[in-house]
Amino acid sequence: MNHRPTADKACFTSPAIERVIERVVARICDPQLAALFVNCFPNTLDTTVTVGTDEQGRPDTFVVTGDIDAMWLRDSTNQVWPYLPFVNEDPNLNRLIQGVINRQTRCVMIDPYANAFNREATGSHWKSDQTVMTDDLHERKYELDSLCAVLRLAYGYWEVSKDASCFDDRWHEAMRRIVATIRAEQAGADEIQKDDYRFQRQTTSPTETLACGGYGQPARRCGLSKSPFRPSDDAAMLPFLVPANAMAVVCLTRLAILWRDVCGKPEDAADAQALADEIDSAIKHHAVIEHPQHGSIFAYEVDGFGSYYCMDDGNVPSLLSLPYLGYCDTGDPIYVNTRRFVLSSSNPYYAEGKAAKGVGSPHTGRGTIWPMAVILQALTSDSAEEVRGCLAILRDTHAGTFFMHESFSKDDAASFTRDWFAWANTLFGELILSVDARFPELLRQN
């Protein structure tokens, strides 16, 4: 059941992570859960990272998603996130994380609107895309959460290591570009200029391109920031993606802390904090709606004109993940109502079948369930019984592969998408560490 590469074929090995695996797996009584943890937790390090230095001698780490040979800003943060608590125990792991921060900084400096980047300047895989492409870009779908992921990793690394050495002049300029981009995307439809971000693709799928000449559905300025594409890389129905804006509030606030308390840049800090406060106020005024069954909930998307779309997606950021991202507590009344909505048939992408129940995604179609969503359900739950149920679903739906997948059919776990999806694998490892800390008795049972 151990499907890890041999040591000589692994991309990277961390003694600190190996010690964690050895320590935790000894406390897991269920052999399938134990095997899943052994395979999944180190999967990013085992299979997806290339560690080196850039032309300036800085640590440089390229992280592929798994079965796609490109680096997504969002995925790369999430793939290494569970390793952050251990960077002080392993200098090489510390350097690897610094390398991800440096590579993400480089990517933002190339183009803050791109979601995925090539290892080298080899050109885009998508030849028909009508947008401003360069050879460094794998794809240029603008997603607000991609920029938030860069901020999240930088703060998360500093919070553990207290090392600000990678926050150099280039990093500060990249952070300013992130703030400027988020602010620019607050513009309404009547403010759009010809040279503003646009994206169209020759495709038979409407989720792969943007309406209205590539500028996306109309938005009215309201303080929220647009995200034409979701974290699934699907086009949004309405321009303001609420979970991504909530993530922006958290990450801009943390950037303000770095700039003010660590880097001595009070003006930049004030700018980032003002933007965070404006977006937070807009969420409260424009993204909380009255659902006929569940009461006050967060909408998934809004447009500033008063229209809203109620659903949730298995990808993160999602409405389900808001406490995990730090936007609210699990006991927040609006979140409690929203969670009840998300985990019910009121959510058009919630599925319940012969194999399992959970949240899916338009990206894989109705009737699918995302292990990532089941993991987030457990990570944001205060109920041991709910977490137990989530663990059982994850244990019973890996279809004999002993890895997480992107999605699987609600009626047949053997019908799945993506057999090498490192983010979901590493996130499962993060869940097991969380359960070990919060509900250790659940791991002691068969």
pLDDT recorded at residue 432: 98
Structure tokens that stand for 90 in this block: 């392993």
Residue 237 vs residues 22, 230, 280, 300, 310: alpha-carbon distances, Å: 45, 9, 21, 10, 11
Q: Dihedral angle at the C-alpha atoms of 357, 362, 365, 369, nearest 10 degrees?
A: -20
Q: Which residues pair with 298 in a beta bridge?
A: 288
Residue labelled with tokens 């095997």: 35
Q: Top-level CATH class of 48-348? A: mainly alpha
CB 187 within 8 A of CB 221: yes
- Cis before 317? omega within 30: yes
- d(Cα 390, Cα 371) in Å, to the nearest integer? 9
Residue 406: closest CA among 374, 381, 433? 374
Residue 358: closest CA among 303, 403, 397, 314? 314
In this prediction, the residues of the chain whose per-residue pLDDT falls under 50 are: none
pLDDT recorded at residue 237: 97
pLDDT recorded at residue 446: 73
Structure tokens that stand for 1 in this block: 């059941």
Give the total residue count for the chain: 446
Residue 126: alpha-carbon gap to chain centroid? 23
CA triplet 333, 336, 340: central angle to 5 degrees? 145
Query: What burial class does residue 145 get, using C-beta atoms within 10 Å of its C-beta: 0-12 exposed, 13-18 middle, 19+ buried?
Result: buried
- d(Cα 91, Cα 299) in Å, to the nearest integer? 43
Average pLDDT, rounded, for the chain: 97
pLDDT recorded at residue 73: 98
- d(Cα 256, Cα 62) in Å, to the nearest integer? 27
Q: HEC states along the chain? A: CCCCCCCCCCCCCCHHHHHHHHHHHCCCCCHHHHHHHHHHCCHHHHHCEEEEECCCCCEEEEECCECCCCEEHHHHHHHHHHHHHHHHHCHHHHHHHHHHHHHHHHHHHHCCCCCEECCCCCCCCCCCCECCCCCCEEECCCCHHHHHHHHHHHHHHHHHHCCCCCCCHHHHHHHHHHHHHHHHCCCCHHHCCCCCCCCECCCCCHHHCCCHHHCCCCCCCCCCCCCCECCCCCECCCCEEHHHHHHHHHHHHHHHHHHHHHCCCHHHHHHHHHHHHHHHHHHHHHCEEEECCCEEEECCEECCCCCEECCCCCCCCCCCCHHHHCCCCCCCHHHHHHHHHHCCCCCCCEEECCCCEEECECCCECCEECHHHHHHHHHCCCCHHHHHHHHHHHHHCCCCCCCCCCEEECCEEEEEECCCEHHHHHHHHHHHHHHHHHCHHHCCCC
For 368-415, what is each residue's pLDDT tens digit? 999 999 999 999 999 999 999 999 999 999 999 999 999 999 999 999
pLDDT recorded at residue 126: 81
**Given the DSSP bridges, would you call strands 301-302 and 288-291 parallel, antiparallel or unpaired?**
unpaired
pLDDT recorded at residue 371: 98
Q: Looking at beta carbons, which pairs linking 21-26 to residues 24 or more positions away fall under 8 Å?
A: 24/432, 24/433, 24/436
Query: What burial class does residue 305 get, using C-beta atoms within 10 Å of its C-beta: 0-12 exposed, 13-18 middle, 19+ buried?
Result: middle
- d(Cα 366, Cα 348) in Å, to the nearest integer? 8
CB 18 within 8 A of CB 403: no
- d(Cα 97, Cα 87) in Å, to the nearest integer? 8
Q: Parse the chain into domains and list their residue ranges.
A: 1-40+349-446, 48-348
- d(Cα 334, Cα 203) in Å, to the nearest integer? 38
Backbone angles phi, psi at 260, to 5 degrees: -80, -50
